[in-house]
C-alpha cells in the first residue's frame, strides 16, 4: 500500500491518497475475504462452538492504540484468524443449538453485501426510491406467504416495514399505542397507562416499556402455568384489566407471543385480541422466532386470530435465512406509527414526500438513517422460492422431532413440555437419580423428605450437565427455568445443521450425562 | 440449482435440500457479487446521481408474489442491474454532494462482510466475547484519537458503545438522563421534565424526546441567529432554564451540536456544559457529521469543552469510511445508561455476566440483538492508520475550500456562512438578479420595493437552480433554509470524489445558473 509521507501540514500529500474505494483494489480484497469466509464455513466444525476464552483475553493481545500507518489486509486477516476467531461463539456452526439460532444463508449474505456496496441511506423515498419500494413489495410478498389478513398489507391499507430487531418493533408500536391513548385521555395520564404481558414474554418488551416511559408499576405480568403450556390466559388478562380500570388506570397495550423464548409457548391470539378489543387496547403479536414457520400451511394455525391484532412481527434473521438484522413488522394502521415517529425538517423536504404518493420509512422506525435491508430479504425469497423455504423450515422441525424421539426413548431423560417447532426442552429426569446419592453429593443437611432440596439438586445436576457439555465445545446449548425447573434447550435451526449433527449431539449429551450420573446412581 | 420435487407433505424431500450455506456455492456466488460491486464502482459515474424514477416504478416491474421455485443468482443479478440500480440514488458516486455523504471504503465493506459471515448475535459477552471486547478496544482507540477526556474511556471509568444511528444514541442517553432525574424528583413528574436544543439541532433529537415520552410542550427550542453563525447561545439557554425552574419544571437534558446538519454550526460546548452543570442537567454532544474530523489536531478545538459533557457521539458511517450503520457513543457514566436499559432474563444468565468482569452491550442500547459492528471500525482503523485517515479527511476539507474559492471568485454567487468543515452553503446572489426582471417573472403583483417579495423570488431562483441541476443527474446537492434564506449545500465527502469532480461540479452549477439567470438579467 506504499509508505506514507510524514508530512503533518493541513495540505494532504495527494500522492499518498490512493482512493479508499478504488474498484480494482476493492475487487482484489473482496475476493480475498470471500475465500476467507468460505474457508471458515468449510472448517467451522473444528472450533469449539462456545468460545472458550477468558474475560479480557483480547486486550492482552491487541495494541493499546490504533496504528499510525496502514496495515495490509493480509496481516489483518491473520489477526482475525488468530485473535478474533477464538473469541467467537460460532453461531453458524452446525453444532450450534443455543438460544434460537441465527440462520444465515448465501442469499442473505449476498443481499447484505449488495446493500453494503450500494451503501445508500434510505431514510425517505427520494434518498433511494428502490430501497423504499422494494421494502414495501417484499413485505407484501411475505405477508401473503404468511397469509396475513389483507388489512396488514399495503394493498389492504396497512403495511410492512423492516426494523432492526423485535425490541425496536415493540418500542415503535408501543409508542404509537401510547400516543393514541394519550390523545384520548390526556398527556397528563402518561403515568396511568398500563401494559400487559405474560411471565413468558420476552424481556425486550419490558425494556421497550421502560424506554417509552411507561411507569413500571403499571407493567402487568400475567402468570402462566404448566397446565396451559405457559400460554397467556385470556381470562386472567381480562380480570387484571378490569381491576386496573376500576383503579382509574388506562389499559393500553398487550404483547402476545407466538413462540416464547423459553419454551416456544403460543398465546391464544383470538381470545386475547377479543379481550383487548373490548377495552380499546393495542395488541402486538411478537412471533420473533416462530413467525417464519407460518409460511408452511401446516403451521399457519398458530397465528389464527392475528386478524384481531394491531401489529405483528417476526425476525427474518432468526429463522428465515436472512442475516442479522432484519425484523419484519406489519401494521394495520401505519398512520398511528407515523403520527408518533415523523419529523419533517426543511433539509429533507422534497416533491415526492409532498405528493404523499410515497412511503418515507424514516417515519416508521426510531432512526432516520436506515440500511437497505429489503435486498437481503428479496434475495432470500427469490434464490430459494416459497417451496424450498418451507422445506428448509420443515426439515428443522423434523430434526427436532428426531431429537425429541431420542430423548423420549432414553428413560434417564425427559421432555417436560410439548414441542411446537424446532426447539426441544429436556432434562435428566428426577427418576434417573438416586435420592440418597443426591443428599450425599450435597452434604445432606436437609431432611431426606425435603422436596425443595431434591428439586434444587435435580436442577443442579442438569446445570452441571449443560456446563460440562458447553465446556467441551462439541455442541452449544443454553437453558431456561420454567416453573422452577431447569431445562436444557436444544434449538435446531443453524443452516449448516443436518441430521447427522443431531445424532452426534445426542451422543455427546449422553456421554456427558453418563459421566455426571455416575455420582448419582 | 436443481429442480424441486413438488411434494407437499410435512416430511421434506431431503434430496432437494442442498445446504443454503454450502461453502463452495458460497464461494462461487460470493465472487460473483464482488465483481458485480467492483464493476458498479468502476462505472458509477454513468448513472444519474439522483434517481430519476417515478413513484411506484418498481411495483410495475416486479411480480405480485414471491416465486414458488428458486431462481439462479445470475437472473437475480440481472434484475438488480435492470430494476434496482435505476431506482438508486448513488450515494457512492464521486458526484454526490447531497445531505452529508455516507463514505464507504474497502476496509469498511470488508469488515461488514466478515461480521455478516460470522453472523454472531453479540448481545452479551458470552454470546461472542470477541464482539464485545473488540468494541470496547476500538472505542478506546478512537476516543484516544479524538483526544476525548480519559473519563469517557473504559480506562477512565467511562466507556464507548457502537449504536446504529445518532437517533438511537440520543434516545438512550435521554432515557438515562430522564430516569436519573425521575429518581430524584419522583416518577409522577415525567410530564414536568424539560429538554433543550437549538433551532438548528437535528430533528432526530425531537423524535427521541417523543419516543421517550417527554411532553412536547416541554421541548424548548432555543433560537439561534446569523450573527453567531447559528450556534446555540448559552445565555439564552440559561435564561430559559431559569424560567422553567420558576415555573416548577425540571430541566433535564441539553442536546448540543458540533456541526449542525444545515450549515455545520458549532455550539459552544464549554459554556453550555457550564450552564447545564449549574442546574444538574445532562449534556449530550451530537457530533454526528463533524466529530470524525477531530482526529485531526487542526480541528480538535471544535470539541473543546467536551470534558464537561455527559456523552458524545458521532457517526463513523457518515465521514469515517465505515459503511452504514455505525454511530460511536461515549459516556462518562455508563452505569446510568445500564440502569435504564438492562434486563436480565433467566435464559441469558451466565457466569461471565454474574462475575461483573465483562461488558454486556445489550444493556447499552435499545435492542437485544446486535451486529458485530466493531469489526468494520477495526478494519478501517488498521487498513488506513491514523495518518492516512487524517489526510483523507483533510483532503475533503481542502476540496470544499477549493469549491468555496470558486464560488467566491464568481460575483453571481455568494457563500452566506463561514465554512467550518467540508460543507459549503451558497446561492445565486441577490445582486446577480435584476429586480425588475424578478417582478416580471413573477407577474409583478407586489410593489417594487416589497422586500419580502424579492427575498422570496431569490429563494425561488435558487430552488429552480437546484432542481435543474439535480434533474440533470450530473451531480446531486440538497438544500437548507436558514434565517429564511434558501441555500444550496455542497457537501464533499463521498470517498470516490477527487479534485477533478469539484471542478466538474462547479462547471455544471455555472451552466445551469447561466440558463436560469438568462431570464433575470
pLDDT in tens, A142-196: 999 999 999 999 989 999 999 999 999 999 999 999 999 999 999 999 999 999 9
The C-alpha cell at B233 is: 447561545
Q: Are residues B389 and B358 in the same domain?
A: no
Among B367, B392, B417, residue at a domain's last position: B367
Does position B413 have pLDDT exceeding 90, yes or no? yes
Contact between residue A305 and residue A90 where contact means Cβ atoms under 8 Å apart: no
Name residues whose C-beta falls within 8 Å of residue B386's C-beta, 6 or more positions apart in sequence: A66, A67, A68, B145, B295
* Of residues A23, A56, A133, nearest to B87 (C-beta): A133
- Neighbouring CB atoms inside 10 A of A459's CB total 17
User: What pLDDT, on the 0 to 100 scale, is given for residue B131?
Assistant: 97
Query: Which pLDDT tens digit goes with each residue over B3-58?
Result: 333 334 444 444 455 899 999 999 999 999 999 999 999 999 999 999 999 999 99
Q: Which residues of B touch A299 (CB under 8 A)?
A: none
Residue that has been written with the C-alpha cell 396475513 in this structure: A148
Residue that has been written with the C-alpha cell 446572489 in this structure: B429
* Residue B290 within any structural domain of the chain: yes
Q: What is the rounded average pLDDT of the residues B273-287?
A: 98
Contact between residue B43 and residue B93 where contact means Cβ atoms under 8 Å apart: no
Looking at every residue in chain B, the average pLDDT score rounds to 93
Cross-chain residue pair B37–A26, CB shorter than 8 Å: yes
Residue A321, sorted as left (phi over 0), alpha (psi -120 to 50) or beta, turns out to be: left
**In Å, what is the CA distance from A262 to each residue of A230, A289, A485, B508?**
10, 11, 12, 61
**CA-based diameter of chain B, in Å?**
83
**H-assigned helices in B156-233:** 166-185, 203-211
Q: What does DSSP assign to residue A47?
A: S
- Please give the residue of chain B at the shortest CA–CA distance from A209: B212
- Neighbouring CB atoms inside 10 A of B401's CB total 16
Q: Which helix (H) or strand (E) holds A425?
A: strand A423-428
What is the DSSP code string of B225-240? Answer: -GGGTTPPPHHHHHHH
User: What pLDDT, on the 0 to 100 scale, is given for residue B101?
Assistant: 95
**In Å, what is the CA distance from A151 to each residue of A138, A147, A156?**
16, 11, 5
Q: Which residues of A touch B25 (CB under 8 A)?
A: 106
* Of residues B191, B371, B397, nearest to A190 (C-beta): B191
Complex ipTM, two decimals? 0.94
* Of residues B27, B38, B65, nearest to A38 (C-beta): B27
- CATH number (domain holding residue A506): 3.90.1150.10
Query: Which pLDDT tens digit goes with each residue over A376-393?
Result: 999 999 999 999 999 999
Q: Are residues B363 and B388 in the same domain?
A: no
- Neighbouring CB atoms inside 10 A of A231's CB total 20
Phi, psi of A428 (to 5 degrees): -65, 130
Instruction: Say how far apart CA A20 and CA A26 lie, in whole Å.
Output: 9
* Residue A17 within any structural domain of the chain: no
Q: What is the rounded average pLDDT of the residues A276-283?
A: 98
Instruction: Report how far Cα A241 is from the mean position of its chain's Cα atoms.
Output: 29
Q: Are residues A338 and A200 in the same domain?
A: yes
- CATH number (domain holding residue B168): 3.40.640.10
Least confident of A95-99, A433-437, B418-422: A433-437
- Neighbouring CB atoms inside 10 A of A442's CB total 14
Instruction: Give the model's confidence band at A127: pLDDT under 50 very low, under 70 low, under 90 confident, else very high.
Output: very high
User: What pLDDT, on the 0 to 100 scale, is given for residue B494?
Assistant: 97
Q: Which domain holds residue B23?
A: 17-46+52-87
Least confident of A326-335, A431-440, B19-28, B410-419: A431-440
3-state DSSP assignment of residue A315: strand
Instruction: Say how far apart CA A503 and CA A506 lie, in whole Å.
Output: 5
* Residue A8 within any structural domain of the chain: no
Q: Which residues of B touch A498 (CB under 8 A)?
A: 19
Query: Which pLDDT tens digit goes with each residue over B368-398?
Result: 999 999 999 999 999 999 999 999 999 999 9
* Residue A441 within any structural domain of the chain: yes
Q: Which of B26, B42, B141, B169 to mutate to test the interface with A (most CBs of A within 10 A)?
A: B26
Looking at every residue in chain A, the average pLDDT score rounds to 93
* Residue A82 within any structural domain of the chain: yes
Instruction: Compute the count of residue pairs across chains A and B with CB atoms less than 8 Å apart.
Output: 542
User: What pLDDT, on the 0 to 100 scale, is given for residue B434?
Assistant: 82
User: What pLDDT, on the 0 to 100 scale, is given for residue B1?
Assistant: 33
Query: Which pLDDT tens digit goes with each residue over B302-321?
Result: 999 999 999 999 999 999 99
Strand partners for A256: A285
Within chain B, how many helices (H) and strands (E) appear? 16, 11
Cross-chain residue pair B68–A386, CB shorter than 8 Å: yes
* Residue B303 within any structural domain of the chain: yes
The C-alpha cell at B338 is: 445500564
User: What pLDDT, on the 0 to 100 scale, is given for residue A441?
Assistant: 63
Instruction: Say how far apart CA B364 and CA A369 lie, in whole Å.
Output: 20
Q: Are residues B333 and B411 in the same domain?
A: no
Q: Are residues A226 and A154 in the same domain?
A: yes
Q: Are residues B388 and B271 in the same domain?
A: no
Q: Are residues A492 and A396 in the same domain?
A: yes
Q: What is the rounded average pLDDT of the residues B239-262?
A: 98
Q: Are residues A212 and A336 in the same domain?
A: yes
B312 CA: distance to closest CA in chain A (Å): 17
- Who has greater pLDDT, A509 or A442? A509
* Of residues B38, B51, B128, nearest to A129 (C-beta): B51
Q: Which helix (H) or strand (E) holds B129?
A: helix B129-145
* Of residues A4, A11, A297, nearest to B387 (C-beta): A4
Least confident of A200-209, A446-455, B21-30, B64-73: A446-455
User: What pLDDT, on the 0 to 100 scale, is given for residue A17?
Assistant: 57
* Residue B8 within any structural domain of the chain: no
Instruction: Give the model's confidence band at A346: pLDDT under 50 very low, under 70 low, under 90 confident, else very high.
Output: confident
User: What pLDDT, on the 0 to 100 scale, is given for residue B449?
Assistant: 54
Does position A3 have pLDDT exceeding 50, yes or no? no
User: What pLDDT, on the 0 to 100 scale, is given for residue B346?
Assistant: 78
Number of folded domains that form chain A: 3
Query: Which pLDDT tens digit goes with each residue over A181-199?
Result: 999 999 999 999 999 999 9
Query: Which pLDDT tens digit goes with each residue over B251-264?
Result: 999 999 999 999 99
Name residues whose C-beta falls within 8 Å of residue B517's C-beta, 6 or more positions apart in sequence: B412, B428, B432, B433, B461
Does position A16 have pLDDT exceeding 90, yes or no? no
A284 CA: distance to closest CA in chain B (Å): 17
The residue among A427, A51, A479 whose CA lies nearest residue B349 is A479
Cross-chain residue pair B16–A358, CB shorter than 8 Å: no
- CATH number (domain holding residue A36): 1.20.1340.10
Q: Are residues B360 and B390 in the same domain?
A: no
Torsion sign over Cα A242, A244, A247, A248: negative
- The model carries a pTM of 0.95
* Of residues A83, A298, A321, nearest to B10 (C-beta): A298
User: What pLDDT, on the 0 to 100 scale, is given for residue A453?
Assistant: 77
Q: What is the rounded average pLDDT of the residues A2-27?
A: 62
Cross-chain residue pair A70–B384, CB shorter than 8 Å: yes
The residue among A371, A365, A323 whose CA lies nearest residue A103 is A323
A234 CA: distance to closest CA in chain B (Å): 24
The residue among A502, A499, A293 whose CA lies nearest residue B17 is A499
Name residues whose C-beta falls within 8 Å of residue A409's C-beta, 6 or more positions apart in sequence: none
Cross-chain residue pair A109–B340, CB shorter than 8 Å: no
* Residue A502 within any structural domain of the chain: yes
- Who has greater pLDDT, B418 or B333? B333
Among B87, B106, B138, residue at a domain's last position: B87
β-pairing, A311-315 with A327-331?
antiparallel
Q: Are residues B415 and B299 in the same domain?
A: no
Cross-chain residue pair B382–A33, CB shorter than 8 Å: no
The C-alpha cell at B109 is: 465493506
Q: What is the rounded average pLDDT of the residues A226-231?
A: 92
Cross-chain residue pair A68–B92, CB shorter than 8 Å: no
Q: Are residues B198 and B74 in the same domain?
A: no
Query: Which pLDDT tens digit goes with each residue over B155-198?
Result: 899 999 999 999 999 999 999 999 999 999 999 999 999 999 99
Beta strands in A249-346 (DSSP E): 250-257, 282-286, 311-315, 327-331
The residue among B292, B268, B278, B502 whose CA lies nearest residue B381 is B292
Q: Are residues A412 and A310 in the same domain?
A: no
Query: Which pLDDT tens digit goes with each residue over A298-325?
Result: 999 999 999 999 999 999 999 999 999 9
The residue among B181, B245, B184 whose CA lies nearest residue B213 is B181
Among B312, B344, B367, residue at a domain's last position: B367
Q: What is the rounded average pLDDT of the residues B108-116?
A: 98
Instruction: Give the model's confidence band at A437: pLDDT under 50 very low, under 70 low, under 90 confident, else very high.
Output: confident
User: What pLDDT, on the 0 to 100 scale, is given for residue B442?
Assistant: 59
Amino acid at each position: 500500500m506504499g509508505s506514507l509521507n510524514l508530512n503533518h501540514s493541513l495540505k494532504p500529500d495527494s500522492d499518498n491518497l490512493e482512493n479508499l474505494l478504488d474498484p480494482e483494489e476493492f475487487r482484489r480484497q473482496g475476493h480475498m475475504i470471500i475465500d476467507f469466509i468460505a474457508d471458515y464455513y468449510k472448517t467451522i466444525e473444528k472450533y469449539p462452538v462456545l468460545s472458550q476464552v477468558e474475560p479480557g483475553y483480547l486486550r492482552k493481545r491487541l495494541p493499546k492504540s490504533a496504528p499510525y500507518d496502514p496495515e495490509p489486509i493480509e496481516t489483518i486477516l491473520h489477526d482475525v484468524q488468530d485473535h478474533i476467531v477464538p473469541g467467537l461463539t460460532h453461531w453458524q456452526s452446525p453444532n450450534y443449538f443455543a438460544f434460537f439460532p441465527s440462520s444465515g444463508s448465501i442469499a442473505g449474505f449476498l443481499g447484505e453485501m449488495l446493500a453494503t456496496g450500494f451503501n445508500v441511506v434510505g431514510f425517505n423515498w427520494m434518498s433511494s426510491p428502490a430501497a423504499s419500494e422494494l421494502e414495501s413489495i417484499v413485505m407484501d410478498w411475505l405477508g401473503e406467504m404468511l397469509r396475513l389478513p389483507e388489512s396488514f398489507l399495503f394493498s389492504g391499507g396497512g403495511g410492512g416495514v423492516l426494523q432492526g430487531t423485535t425490541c425496536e418493533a415493540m418500542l415503535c408500536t408501543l409508542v404509537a399505542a401510547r400516543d393514541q391513548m394519550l390523545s384520548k385521555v390526556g398527556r397528563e395520564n402518561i403515568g396511568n397507562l398500563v401494559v400487559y404481558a405474560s411471565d413468558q414474554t420476552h424481556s425486550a418488551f419490558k425494556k421497550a416499556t421502560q424506554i417509552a416511559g411507561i411507569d413500571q408499576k403499571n407493567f402487568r405480568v400475567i402468570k402462566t402455568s404448566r397446565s396451559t403450556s405457559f400460554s397467556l390466559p385470556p381470562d386472567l388478562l381480562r380480570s387484571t384489566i378490569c381491576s386496573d380500570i376500576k383503579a382509574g388506570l388506562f389499559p393500553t397495550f398487550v404483547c402476545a407471543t407466538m413462540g416464547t423464548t423459553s419454551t416456544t409457548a403460543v398465546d391464544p391470539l383470538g381470545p386475547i385480541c377479543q379481550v383487548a378489543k373490548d377495552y380499546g387496547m393495542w395488541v402486538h403479536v411478537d412471533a420473533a422466532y416462530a413467525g417464519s414457520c407460518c409460511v408452511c400451511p401446516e403451521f399457519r394455525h398458530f397465528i389464527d386470530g392475528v386478524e384481531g391484532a394491531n401489529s405483528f412481527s417476526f425476525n427474518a434473521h432468526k429463522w428465515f435465512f436472512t442475516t442479522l438484522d432484519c425484523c419484519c413488522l406489519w401494521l394495520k394502521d401505519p398512520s398511528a406509527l407515523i403520527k408518533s415517529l415523523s419529523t419533517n425538517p426543511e433539509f429533507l423536504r422534497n416533491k415526492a414526500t409532498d405528493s404523499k404518493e410515497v412511503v418515507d420509512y424514516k417515519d416508521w422506525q426510531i432512526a432516520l438513517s436506515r440500511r437497505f435491508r429489503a435486498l437481503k430479504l428479496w434475495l432470500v425469497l427469490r434464490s430459494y422460492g416459497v417451496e424450498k423455504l418451507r422445506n428448509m423450515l420443515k426439515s428443522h422441525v423434523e430434526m427436532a422431532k428426531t431429537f425429541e424421539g431420542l430423548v423420549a426413548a432414553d428413560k434417564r431423560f425427559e421432555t417436560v413440555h410439548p414441542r411446537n417447532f424446532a426447539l426441544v426442552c429436556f432434562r435428566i429426569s428426577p427418576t434417573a437419580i438416586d435420592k440418597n446419592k443426591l443428599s450425599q453429593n450435597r452434604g445432606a443437611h436437609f431432611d431426606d423428605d425435603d422436596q425443595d432440596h431434591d428439586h434444587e439438586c435435580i436442577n443442579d445436576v442438569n446445570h452441571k450437565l449443560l456446563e460440562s457439555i458447553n465446556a467441551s465445545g462439541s455442541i452449544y446449548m443454553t437453558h431456561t427455568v420454567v416453573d422452577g425447573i431447569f431445562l436444557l434447550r436444544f434449538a435446531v435451526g443453524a443452516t449448516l445443521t443436518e441430521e447427522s449433527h443431531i445424532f452426534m449431539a445426542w451422543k455427546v449429551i449422553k456421554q456427558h450425562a453418563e459421566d455426571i450420573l455416575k455420582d448419582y446412581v
